Amino acid sequence: MDMLRFRLVVVAGAVATLAVGLGITLVGFGKAGEYAGGVLYACLVGLLILLVLPRLRPVPFVLATAGLCWAVEFFQLTPWPAEWAERSFLSRLVFGTTFNAPDLLPYVLGAILVGGIHAVIRPGFPVPA
């Protein structure tokens, strides 16, 4: 039951993060909105990682979250994300279109933020190692 409750908390967090992130994206808040969007993107990626790997401890979790976000950002150096974005709004949200080095810092901040939350809630959900 604890694992189910843990996953429900993660799903609720992901839904809330997605709603806030889409709101910021659709309304637009300039540079501050872009950086907030990067932080929220990393939080969402982290929560999705927790759904798949709920036993992941906080430090490897932060590294995996930041690493995956960075991988997606560097993937934007190829032509594929921009091509996919022309065909799909969802693809644009997931992969972006163009590499932007300043996005790398918000990803780390988001990974640390969601990792800190994970470290705090983890003791309340005894997840076997």
Which pLDDT score, from 0 to 100, does residue 127 have?
58
What's the half-sphere exposure (Cβ side, CA atoms, 13 Å) at 69?
Answer: 32
Phi, psi dihedrals of residue 97, rounded to the nearest 5°: -135, -40
pLDDT digits (tens, 9 = 90+) for 55-99: 889 999 999 999 999 999 999 999 999 999 999 988 888 898 999
Longest dimension (CA), the chain: 45
- DSSP class of residue 97 equals S
Torsion-angle region of 30 (φ positive above 0: left; ψ -120 to 50: alpha; else: beta)? left
Which pLDDT score, from 0 to 100, does residue 46 have?
97
> If pLDDT is split at 50, 70 and 90, which confidence band does 5 have?
confident
Question: Could you give the CA distance from residue 29 to residue 34 in angstroms, rounded to a whole number?
Answer: 7
Which pLDDT score, from 0 to 100, does residue 92 have?
87
pLDDT digits (tens, 9 = 90+) for 33-56: 889 999 999 999 999 999 999 888
Q: Is the pTM of this model over 0.75?
A: yes
The DSSP string of 7-60 is: HHHHHHHHHHHHHHHHHHHHH--HHHHHHHHHHHHHHHHHHHHHHH-TT--HHH
Residue range 124-128: mean pLDDT, rounded: 64
